[in-house]
Chain A
Amino acid sequence: MLRTITPRNARVKRVLKNREAKTEENIKTAIFIRGSQTSQIVNDALADLYMLKKPYAVNFTKKNQIHPFEDHSNLQFFSQKNDASLFVIGTHSKKRPNTLTFARMFDHQLLDMMEVSIEKGTPMKDFKTPKSAIGMKPCFMFNGDMWDQNPHYIMFKSMILDFYHGQTVDKVALAGLEYVISVTSGPMTSEGKPGKIYLRTYTIVLKRSGVKLPRIELVEMGPSMDMTFGRMTEAKPDVWKQSLRVPKELKPKKKKNITKDVMGDTVGRIHLGKQDFDKIQTRKMKGLKKRTASTEDDKDSSEKKQRVNESDDEE
């Protein structure tokens, strides 16, 4: 469908190389699309989610005839063209009002997607509070006991983490933790269906506390959304398994020969080779040397010599 580009200059070649499969991947880019009909709530929500995801986000401003649950071929095309693997599609209809559809791609094919409808949403611009800088790494919080049990919740947790965790780094500047995304699960409905989920975003303010650890205060930054779950398409198990494979280089290396004993001390094991006891260098003690017949005679003569000298000294 998409023509394969043969690079004619170094710059294009570099771009193509960047888009190839790599051991350590790029940060996932997200595309924010509007469906054929949208409402103010949906537009605000898309705008806010886009701001949080910048600069790894693409905002499609025009309306598209896109119905992901019926036909997801458009998503494949957009994914390949923009090298993006995350999508948020905002739609509004009488049957499904104020809906956001989160979708993920693997190898430019649909991996999984889920729909949430926004019951109540407050955009960032309605909160007259300072906002965090663009592109900062957020902290996450998932409150409630449902987050490991119900497939809707599991997928939503995975989606939010995937969207906003940015780059997986091994160190982070303590001063750079500016905001936190908190998702709370409400109680289940009386019919036993999943209840509402509450998404809130706060900026972190560190205050003095008299001890080394700072006191945390939160200031609501927005967006704030109350959502209910809609339809969901789970990933096919074999594709899901393939997407979770970790390359050998990134697997944490096992430390061998080091253990902690009962007392909590670290004990190490050193493997020496085979030792030839005859040829070990030790401290030489002449008295312990092996005596043979010839050495005995020499010793007598030397003893005799000594005695003669002694007798001479005495005299």
Chain B
Amino acid sequence: MDVSGVLEAHKQKFKSVSVEGKVIPLEYDLGLLTAYDQNPIDEAELKKNKDEYLQSLSRDNAQLLFNEIFQLPTISDDNGVMAMLPVPTTLLPREKPLPKPKPETRWEKFAKAKGIVNRKKERMVFDDNTGEYKPRWGYKGINDDGSKDWIIEVPSGANPMEDQYEARREAKKERIDKNDKRRQRNLEEAAVASKMDQKTVNKGERPNMDNARAMKRKEIENQILISKNSTASAGKFDEAIKGDLKPKGIKRKFEPNVTADLSKEKAGNMSILDRVVGKNGEDLVNVRKAIKATKSRK
């Protein structure tokens, strides 16, 4: 039985899916669903019937593009048949620069050194006391600090007159404060670490926190010294704080009010004037420094 005739007739009914006449084969960037057709445009056709020509040209190229897309490996999903797209070859610019790697916190460093891996835990835990599932943390969680218990036993070592509910509340507050202090410390150390290690940040690695703490401490000590010096007596008569640094050798020099040598007084006043107003009417702004400052700010 010759079916080829029937097949031919069947095929004739439908329009072809192949496209002829493309001298230069099309280039495709399937990651972006794009086709680039380098074939020269028929200028005469374009002039004569622009829209029809453009439509037929686009149809041919769309046919070729879809032929390529349908060749891609597919997987079946809930949303239907999905074609797996390759990575796009055309480079498009990002809208924001690459994120800077954040320095490790104290805990992260410790966990890495010890090999502690963060494993995801289930949110709901079975509570034996009530016989139902409760969240592991948060609202109506099982590890509630127990301030809502209707009875609290006085622990063996405690004062029997003490209010245990109060004690529990205080303990929770303390825990919250401790956590906050640690978070603040992490933030400050991270700020210092990323500033110091600008080179490693530029390379794309995480800054080292080891010297960050020492640097932060030095910074704070420096600031204390500066603030001391800006007092009228250069910090000599400041109230001593426990554990404070002793600034050595601070003496404030007082010039005598009336001097015999007036030229010295004049020179002193002129130097102040120059610094404020500028020498010989020069610019007040040091242009070089201003450029540097704006560059560093950016």
Is the beta-carbon distance between B54 and A161 smaller than 8 angstroms?
Answer: no
Q: A43-51, A91-99, A165-173: which lies at the B interface?
A: A165-173
Whole-angstrom distance between the Cβ of A1 and the nearest chain B Cβ: 13
Is the beta-carbon distance between A143 and B99 smaller than 8 angstroms?
Answer: no
Q: Interface residues, chain B, CB within 8 Å of chain A? A: 10-11, 13-17, 31-41, 43, 46, 50-51, 54-55, 57-59, 61-63, 65-67, 69-70, 74-75, 77, 79-85, 87-88, 90-100, 204
Whole-angstrom distance between the Cβ of B198 and the nearest chain A Cβ: 16
Is the beta-carbon distance between A145 and B40 smaller than 8 angstroms?
Answer: yes
A63 within 8 A of partner (CB) = no
| B204 (CB) vs chain A CBs: closest residue | A248
Q: What are 17 residue pairs bridging A and B, where the CB atoms are less than 8 Å apart in the complex?
A: A20-B99, A21-B98, A26-B95, A104-B93, A105-B95, A106-B97, A140-B32, A141-B61, A143-B39, A145-B38, A145-B40, A161-B92, A184-B41, A185-B41, A207-B14, A215-B15, A218-B62
Whole-angstrom distance between the Cβ of A126 and the nearest chain B Cβ: 13
A66 within 8 A of partner (CB) = no
Q: Interface residues, chain A, CB within 8 Å of chain B? A: 20-23, 25-26, 28, 85, 104-107, 111, 137-145, 147-148, 158, 161-162, 165, 168-177, 180, 182, 184-187, 198, 200, 202, 204, 207-218, 220, 224, 235, 240, 242-245, 247-248, 252
Q: A141-B65, A242-B97 are in contact. List 10 more A-B contacts (CB 8 A).
A: A21-B98, A22-B96, A25-B95, A138-B33, A139-B34, A139-B65, A148-B36, A171-B75, A202-B58, A212-B70
Is the beta-carbon distance between A215 and B14 smaller than 8 angstroms?
Answer: yes
Is the beta-carbon distance between B17 and A209 smaller than 8 angstroms?
Answer: yes
Known: A144-B37, A174-B83, A218-B62. A200 touches B92 (CB 8 A): no
Is the beta-carbon distance between A171 and B63 smaller than 8 angstroms?
Answer: no
Whole-angstrom distance between the Cβ of B124 and the nearest chain A Cβ: 22
Whole-angstrom distance between the Cβ of B126 and the nearest chain A Cβ: 28
Is the beta-carbon distance between B59 and A22 smaller than 8 angstroms?
Answer: no
- Complex-state Cα separation, A224 to B91, whole angstroms: 26
- Complex-state Cα separation, A248 to B57, whole angstroms: 40
Is the beta-carbon distance between B97 and A215 smaller than 8 angstroms?
Answer: no
Known: A25-B94, A106-B97, A242-B97. A143 touches B55 (CB 8 A): no
- Complex-state Cα separation, A12 to B51, whole angstroms: 50
Is the beta-carbon distance between B10 and A210 smaller than 8 angstroms?
Answer: yes
| B60 (CB) vs chain A CBs: closest residue | A216
Whole-angstrom distance between the Cβ of A92 and the nearest chain B Cβ: 24
- Complex-state Cα separation, A244 to B94, whole angstroms: 6
Chain B contact residues, majority secondary structure: mixed
Q: Which listed residue, A171, A214, A218, A242, touches B84 by the CB 8 Å rule? A: A171
Is the beta-carbon distance between A184 and B54 smaller than 8 angstroms?
Answer: yes
Is the beta-carbon distance between B36 and A142 smaller than 8 angstroms?
Answer: yes
Whole-angstrom distance between the Cβ of A118 and the nearest chain B Cβ: 15
Q: Which listed residue, A111, A143, A200, touches B93 by the CB 8 Å rule? A: A111
Chain B residues within 8 Å of A204, by CB: 62, 66
- Indicate the member of B43, B57, B92 with the most A CB atoms within 10 Å: B92
Is the beta-carbon distance between B32 and A198 smaller than 8 angstroms?
Answer: no
Chain A residues within 8 Å of B43, by CB: 186-187
Whole-angstrom distance between the Cβ of A233 and the nearest chain B Cβ: 14
Is the beta-carbon distance between B37 and A143 smaller than 8 angstroms?
Answer: yes
Is the beta-carbon distance between A177 and B33 smaller than 8 angstroms?
Answer: yes
Chain A residues within 8 Å of B92, by CB: 158, 161-162, 165
Is the beta-carbon distance between A216 and B96 smaller than 8 angstroms?
Answer: no
Is the beta-carbon distance between B88 and A168 smaller than 8 angstroms?
Answer: yes
Chain B residues within 8 Å of A20, by CB: 96, 99
Is the beta-carbon distance between B14 and A171 smaller than 8 angstroms?
Answer: no
Q: Which listed residue, A23, A158, A186, touches B98 by the CB 8 Å rule? A: A23
Is the beta-carbon distance between A107 and B37 smaller than 8 angstroms?
Answer: no
Q: Which listed residue, B10, B36, B59, B96, touches A21 by the CB 8 Å rule? A: B96
- Complex-state Cα separation, A105 to B41, whole angstroms: 33
| B95 (CB) vs chain A CBs: closest residue | A85
Whole-angstrom distance between the Cβ of A184 and the nearest chain B Cβ: 6
- Complex-state Cα separation, A185 to B36, whole angstroms: 12
- Complex-state Cα separation, A186 to B43, whole angstroms: 8
- Complex-state Cα separation, A240 to B93, whole angstroms: 7
| A28 (CB) vs chain B CBs: closest residue | B95
Is the beta-carbon distance between B62 and A21 smaller than 8 angstroms?
Answer: no
Is the beta-carbon distance between B61 and A213 smaller than 8 angstroms?
Answer: no
Chain B residues within 8 Å of A216, by CB: 59, 62-63, 66
- Complex-state Cα separation, A224 to B52, whole angstroms: 13
Is the beta-carbon distance between A214 and B59 smaller than 8 angstroms?
Answer: no
- Complex-state Cα separation, A28 to B87, whole angstroms: 19
Is the beta-carbon distance between A171 and B58 smaller than 8 angstroms?
Answer: no
- Complex-state Cα separation, A249 to B59, whole angstroms: 38
